[in-house]
């Protein structure tokens, strides 16, 4: 490996040191319902986002809360020497994409059939740490 390539790899590794992510694939909730809850926590600090998700009555908030806790745990494993409270973690990015769709038929009047689409989604949460050169939109 050349010197420039090694230096660039170290720069990328240092830049990715302050972020952590978690993914949830094929969650059996429609993306539209999940995006409503995801918009509540986008850009918020982690403690505030956990409180919002904990006290929200929607079913999608339970799944996002579990995913956010997983992302926090991933960050702690990556940065074992840093303290969680001092790092100032926030939800840098949360993305809800459509997943696979189960297609079913439901009987309709006069011998017809209606198509039922059971949707699923993929959710990705990226956490960022506030340091001296980056500030959150809080």
The answer to the question of residue 134 being in a domain is no
**For residue 119, is it within any domain?**
yes
**Is residue 11 in some structural domain?**
no
Tokens read off for 66 = 């579990």
| Domains identified in the chain, total number | 1
Q: For position 24, which CATH number holds?
A: 3.90.470.10
What is the DSSP code (8-state) at residue 58?
Answer: S
Contact predicate 64/53, CB 8 Å: yes
Q: What's the pLDDT at 104?
A: 96
Q: Is residue 1 part of a domain?
A: no
Residue-wise pLDDT tens digits, 69-106: 999 999 999 888 778 888 889 999 999 999 999 999 99
Q: Work out whether strand 19-27 and strand 89-107 pair parallel, antiparallel, or are unpaired.
A: unpaired
Q: Which residues of the chain have pLDDT under 70?
A: 1, 131-138
pLDDT of residue 136: 44
What is the model's pLDDT at position 131?
A: 67
Contact predicate 27/122, CB 8 Å:
yes
In a domain, 118, yes or no: yes
Is 43 a domain residue? Answer: yes
- pLDDT value for 129: 86
- Domain assignment present for residue 24? The answer is yes
In a domain, 65, yes or no: yes
Domain of 71, in residue numbers? 18-129
């Amino acid at each position: 490996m050349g010197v420039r390539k090694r230096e660039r790899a170290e720069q990328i590794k240092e830049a990715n040191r302050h972020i952590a992510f978690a993914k949830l694939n094929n969650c059996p909730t429609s993306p539209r319902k999940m995006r409503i809850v995801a918009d509540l926590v986008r850009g918020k600090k982690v403690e505030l986002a956990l409180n919002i998700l904990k006290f929200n009555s929607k079913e999608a908030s339970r799944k996002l809360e579990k995913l956010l806790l997983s992302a926090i745990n991933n960050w702690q494993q990556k940065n074992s020497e840093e303290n969680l409270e001092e790092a100032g973690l926030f939800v840098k990015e949360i993305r809800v994409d459509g997943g696979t769709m189960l297609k079913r038929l439901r009987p309709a009047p006069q011998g017809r059939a209606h198509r039922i689409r059971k949707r699923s989604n993929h959710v990705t949460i990226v956490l960022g740490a506030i340091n001296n050169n980056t500030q959150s939109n809080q």
